[in-house]
Each structure stands twice: as C-alpha cells, then as structure tokens.
Structure 1
C-alpha cells in the first residue's frame, strides 16, 4: 500500500529516532543494510525513494549516525544507485529550496566520511558531457571550499578502508580524485560549449566565478596528489595500487578530444579565442598526469600514456610529460631545474649566482660540459641549458 505524505513523514521521524538512539554502530549498520540493501526486485524503487528522503532529512536535522550509515551504503552499492542518491540531495539542497545550501555545507563537519562519498558520487553524476550534467554553481563552490579547508577529506574513504588492490567495477571509485580531475580538465571547453560565449579559464559572462573556482579546484587536486607518497608507503601500497585508473584516463582523453574537435568546428570567434580554453584544458591534463605519476597515483608507462593521448593536439607541456623522464620535486619552493627547456623563454630574469658576476652578452653556441639530453630529441621547441 502507498503511504500518504503524513504517514511517510511519521515513518521517517521514527527511523531517525531509532538510528539516533542506537548506541552500537555495528547494530546501526546491520539495521541500515537490512532496510536499504538493494535486492534487485520491485521493492528497490521504494527503498531508493525512502532512502533519499531519510538521508535528506538526516542532513537537515543533523543526524550523524544516519550519515555514517549512508557513507557505508555509498561505498558498497552499485554506482548507478549512488548517483541517484546524489541527484536527490543536489535537487533538495541546490535546486528546489533556495538558500538551503548552507545546510548541505555542514556535512563536512558532521560526517567527513559521508562528505567524501558524496563528492565521489556527484563527480560521477556530473561528468560535463551535457549542460544538464554540469555541476550547479552552488555545489561547485561547496566542494571547492571543503577541499581547500581540508585537502585530506578526499582521501578519508581510502584511509579507512582495507583495500585488496581491486575494487568492484560497479562501485564508486575509492577516492573522488578521478572525477575532480575530469571536472578541471574538461571545464574550460564544456562551459564554453554550453554557454556559447566562453571567456578564458572556462568562465562565461553569466558565471564569472566558474573559472577561478575550477582553477582553485585544480590546485587543490594537485596538492592532494602530493600527499600520497607518504600515505601509500605507510600502507605498503606505493607502486601497487593506482588511485587513478588507466581506463578512466582513456575515457577522459577521448572526451577531451571530442570537445576539442567541437570547439574547432563550431566556434564563431577568432582562432585565438578558441585556442586559450583548449590550451588550458591540455595544460591541466599534463600537470595532473605528471603529478599523479610522480606521486604513485597513476601506474602507467610512458608508452601507454603516449598511446592514450595520441589523439590529442600538440601542447608543449603535455609533450614534455609524454616524452619523460621528467624530474619532479615535492617541495613547491624548489627553484626551477637548470635544464628546463622553458628557461630560455621565461619572462623572469634568472638571478645571478654571485652579485659581482657580469652575465655574458650571449650564450656560446655549444656547451660540451653538459651532456646531451636524449629524451628531448625531436622536441618542437628550442632547448638550451641556462646559467
């Protein structure tokens, strides 16, 4: 029998009280699993509808035990159902009720585990393939603020889960890093496609905040990747567990190639206006690939990486990463490499080693004391060591 709205509200209040008053987490998890584990039968739709309303109510009234159970449910359920729950919450707090965003914002403090799983689910849901699957501005602002306040938030599920090496294909990713990387790389072109009047950094006239938000998110993702070596070494998983999957990377480069083709074919602006978002997307991809490989998040040979990126147009930074090996330093304050091929084109003049030293008027034509760099052969830009 179908319940009336009043009966449904009464049932939700009883369930909230029941989970809140149960002091044993194991019992709560068993109860939640018995009620909402999907059985692939006709009752699944009713379970999903009630689950969405229960979790939404738990967020509204601050029922942390239910959010903790919801985090476990998101970790164990099929990703199709996880994104359905995420869609319900986004609709409730970012679309249907204006001004309710701050309530959803509080889940970061109430249940970091649920917040991490929620980010993973929404980055799976909003893949930027269409305007409808582009994250709402309010949601994007929330996620950026969460990760800026606590970069380790996106690793909570990974840190609290015993991993055997391979997660079920049907489940959500163990971290939202792959989805966040996809957002940052595709945003400049996806927002340009949807809004028709894109500016640099993926912004539009109507949403000037979007570009800086994605730039801040991209920086945060790189910073999180730089936290991984110590964590993976402590777990004995460095070089054994990839938090970014090669097949997901292949799907990203395929989507990016398609977006780049669309930008070339359908643009009505000058070639310079088209090139800026395209190069931004490729440079973000290159930066993410290099930092991910250097810190053990992506286990992929340079040959495989070149094959995956073979359909992408030329970009100097991406070409450098694909050519490898590229030295990488975790310390962001480390000065630029002396052999950087970009040094000759840098607008910043190098500091002299000794104040009294007078720089030469021109570099000599050759430097026999510096051995040739074989991996740089055939690069499309000039290469010259700098003093």
Structure 2
C-alpha cells in the first residue's frame, strides 16, 4: 500500500482522487461479490488513502465531477457502499472535510438532478446522527433559499426525481427549524415548497417508514422515521412563535404581523395534510396487521411538544395572545386525537386522561384571581375555551360542550321526552368551574 501512496503523491490532485476512487470501487466490488460481504468495513490502509487524497487536500470542484461520473456505471449496491465509505463519519479531523464536500456534492447533485447521488444522500440522512443531518440541511437551505432565493425552483423540482431524498430532507429541516428562536423559524420560501410537495402527494411523508424493514435497527440519535412529528411541531408552535417574534417598534411589529399572517394559510394547509396522512397511515397499518402494535409517533415526542407549547404560552401575555394560544391548542388536540384514532400514537388510558387534563389546565391558566373562600366563582374576562368556530375534531370542543352552561334547545318530539335534571348549584347563569365538573372521557377503540 505504501507503493500506491508514493505513486499517488506524484500525481496531480484530480488524477490522484480518480485513482483512489477507482481503487475503492474495485475493493468494494470484490467485497460485495464475496460471501462475507463488506460488513467488516474497509481496510485501514484504504481508509487512509481516501482521507489523504480526497478529504485532506483542498476539495476541487473537479473532484465532485469525478465522484459523479464514477457513479454512472456502478450498481445500486456498489454506489451505496462507496458513498458510505466516503462520507461515513469516523470521529476524526477528516469529518469536517467530509461534511464540506458532502454539502457541495449534494448541492451540485440537486442543481444537475443527479438522482444516484440524491438516493445515496437519502440513505446517509437516514443512518447518520441528526446533528450532522441538520448541518447538511442548513447548507442546502442556505444554497437554495438564502444565497440565491430564485433557485428554490430547482430544489422544488427534485421531488419528482427523488421523492425519497425529499422525504428525508423534510425530516432534516423540521429538526433544524424547531421555532426555539426567531432564527430557527423556517423561511417562507422553504415552507411554501414543503407544503407544495405534501399537497401534491401526501404519501411523500411515509416513504421512509413504508420502505424501512421492521427488523432494521437505526443508529441511536438518527432522524425520526417520518417527518410527521416535526411538521406537527411547526403547525402547533407557529402561531405562538410568530407572536413572540413581534418587535417593539410599530414598523417592525407590523412587518412581523404581516409575515405571520402571510404564512398562516400555509400552516393551516399543512395541518390539514398531516391529518390526511394519518388516515393514510391507518390503512397501511391495517393492511400490514400492525394497527395498535407499532407506534409511528412516540409518546415522549408528544409530551415534549406539550411542554414546548406550555413554555411558549407562558412567555406570551394570554390577554394579548388568546387567539394564538387557542389556535395552537386546537391544532395540537386535533392532531393527537386523529393520531390516536388512526393508530399512529399509542397511549394508555391514563396517559390520555393526563394529556386531556393538561390541555384543559393550560387553557384555563391565565390572569385569574381566586375568589374568597365560600364566594361564587367569577369568570375571567379571558375567554379560555370559546373559539369562534370550534373544530369538531378537537377534544376541547367536547370539553366546552360539557362545561358550558345549558342553552335553550328546540323541543324534542313526544316519543323522546326530556330527562329531568338535578338541581344546579348556585353558580351564575354564565359561570362554570372546570374543577367541579367531571370531563366526559370515552376511550378511542
């Protein structure tokens, strides 16, 4: 191997990189044809050649062309193994060079629509730690949304060429933009592109989940198997995050308000698409005899989202952000209820009760002054559970129906007599205390 290294040192960088890739192709091709396969990995000498002559040198654009051309005549299995050998992180100094070259390579593959590289990048995104996946997603968003905004159309057209890559890219960008700060709010162009992808074909969000064998175990810390939870986080936290991002000055405040109102229709459309995907997922789980046995959304992720919503709500003034808090809670409750009904989220009865109880407590929290002991309960001026148009999918709607006072209804037909009610307490005609009324819980079967 030392002879090969000395021979490579006498070559120019491009010629040396071509020779190393050719040697890598031959080695991995022989390993795939053998009985043992490439499971044992590359020899250390081969890894050293790859790091020295591909990653330690200044990465030339011609090296990317060389890698692209090298993939033309390779089979799918050989391409995947070569890509993994080149860009699997080793925990050494070459990792930064690997990420820099990978970002440029994938960005170039998007520009020239090189599907083999995009398919390899999709596998890389599925098996690599989420921290590195987020770095790749940030680089691609910078290239196609920030540096040259008009180039977003090039990235948008990739969905028809490599939907698997787009599915993994959506998962990565939802992990990147988590609304934890104003800088981590998805750019409007990126949001519009993702919503357009999903509206055109909602099944895009389930590609990785459907094509991943149940017996395969993904590395610890990798991205979620579907982008559903990340997109749900976008829909739920967006109203609160945009409200938080408003500036103090009138001009900036108006600009931020217009930005939030402009994106609100996109988030509503995205929320509807997520509910539709849950229904599609129910069909798939039923056909595969996995309904009630395999959770797509993790309870821990749902609990973390509830905590994030609670924290954001505490940061806002409930009197000035009542509509935003109500919208976030409605979306969260709708999504959780549909996810449970379709088998995407598996919860025990205790967890369901605690979840609904927490939602009610969150809605009821606010600037309420407790009345003196023994005095009637006085309602707060903050309308907690009185949305203008409550959604029929939201459990908060049923809670509102159970907790609100009785209204006058049309008389029933004679064959359905009214059942006499017990005497009500001395509360006012428009007052109610949620702690004194049991929540009507019916488990979803």
Q: Counterparts of 2:121 and 2:218 in 1: how far apart (Å)?
A: 19
Pick the aligned partner of 2:63 from 11, 14, 22.
Answer: 11
Q: Counterparts of 1:181 and 1:207 in 2: how far apart (Å)?
A: 17
Q: Counterparts of 1:17 and 1:55 in 2: how far apart (Å)?
A: 14
Counterpart in 1 of 2:418? 366
Does 2:190 correspond to 1:139? yes
Does 2:295 correspond to 1:236? no
Counterpart in 1 of 2:437? 378
Does 2:158 correspond to 1:107? yes
Does 2:270 correspond to 1:223? no
Pick the aligned partner of 2:77 from 26, 32, 48.
Answer: 26
Post-superposition shift, 1:256? 0.4
Pick the aligned partner of 1:247 from 295, 300, 304.
Answer: 300
Counterpart in 2 of 1:82? 133
Q: How many residues align?
A: 339
Does 2:235 correspond to 1:176? no
Mapped contact 2:243–2:321 kept (Cα < 8 A): no
Instruction: Quickly say closer, same or farther: Cα 1:281–1:224, change in 2 above 3 A.
Output: same
SS at match of 2:183: coil
In the superposition, the TM-score normalised over structure 1's length comes to: 0.79
Q: How does 1:182-193 map to 2 (within 5 A)?
A: 182-193=233-244
Instruction: Quickly say closer, same or farther: Cα 1:34–1:322, change in 2 above 3 A.
Output: same
Instruction: Quickly say closer, same or farther: Cα 1:166–1:305, change in 2 above 3 A.
Output: farther
- Give the unaligned 5+ runs of structure 2: 1-51, 251-255, 365-383, 421-435, 441-445
Pick the aligned partner of 1:300 from 318, 324, 347.
Answer: 347
Counterpart in 1 of 2:44? none
Q: Counterparts of 1:136 and 1:362 in 2: how far apart (Å)?
A: 57
Counterpart in 2 of 1:194? 245
Mapped contact 2:330–2:396 kept (Cα < 8 A): no
Q: Counterparts of 1:294 and 1:167 in 2: how far apart (Å)?
A: 27
Does 2:109 correspond to 1:55? no
Question: What is the alpha-carbon root mean square deviation over aligned residues?
Answer: 3.6
Counterpart in 2 of 1:275? 322
In the superposition, the TM-score normalised over structure 2's length comes to: 0.69
Q: Counterparts of 1:54 and 1:165 in 2: how far apart (Å)?
A: 28
Mapped contact 1:68–1:113 kept (Cα < 8 A): yes
Quick check: which one's helix share is greater? 2
Post-superposition shift, 1:308? 4.7
Mapped contact 1:302–1:323 kept (Cα < 8 A): no
Mapped contact 1:94–1:139 kept (Cα < 8 A): yes
Instruction: Quickly say closer, same or farther: Cα 1:102–1:367, change in 2 above 3 A.
Output: same
SS at match of 2:215: coil
Mapped contact 2:122–2:168 kept (Cα < 8 A): yes
Post-superposition shift, 1:33? 0.7
Pick the aligned partner of 1:290 from 314, 319, 337.
Answer: 337
Mapped contact 2:333–2:396 kept (Cα < 8 A): no
Could you list the per-position Cα deviations for residues 272-321 of structure 1 after superposition, in whole angstroms to 9, with x for gaps in the alignment? x4210010000000000100000000001232134356263346579x96
Mapped contact 1:86–1:118 kept (Cα < 8 A): yes
Does 2:208 correspond to 1:157? yes
Post-superposition shift, 1:41? 1.3
Q: Counterparts of 1:361 and 1:138 in 2: how far apart (Å)?
A: 54
Mapped contact 1:165–1:240 kept (Cα < 8 A): no
Could you list the per-position Cα deviations for residues 48-86 of structure 1 after superposition, in whole angstroms to 9, with x for gaps in the alignment? 111010000000011000000000111111111111110
Instruction: Quickly say closer, same or farther: Cα 1:308–1:40, change in 2 above 3 A.
Output: farther
Counterpart in 2 of 1:330? none
Greater Rg, structure 1 or structure 2? 2
Counterpart in 2 of 1:353? none
Q: Counterparts of 1:299 and 1:45 in 2: how far apart (Å)?
A: 40
Could you list the per-position Cα deviations for residues 139-170 of structure 1 after superposition, in whole angstroms to 9, with x for gaps in the alignment? 00000000000000000011111023875441
Instruction: Quickly say closer, same or farther: Cα 1:282–1:362, change in 2 above 3 A.
Output: farther
Mapped contact 2:128–2:219 kept (Cα < 8 A): no
Q: Counterparts of 2:237 and 2:79 in 1: how far apart (Å)?
A: 40
Q: How does 1:323-334 map to 2 (within 5 A)?
A: none
Mapped contact 2:239–2:260 kept (Cα < 8 A): no
Q: Counterparts of 1:135 and 1:33 in 2: how far apart (Å)?
A: 29
Counterpart in 2 of 1:335? none
SS at match of 1:276: helix
Mapped contact 2:229–2:301 kept (Cα < 8 A): yes
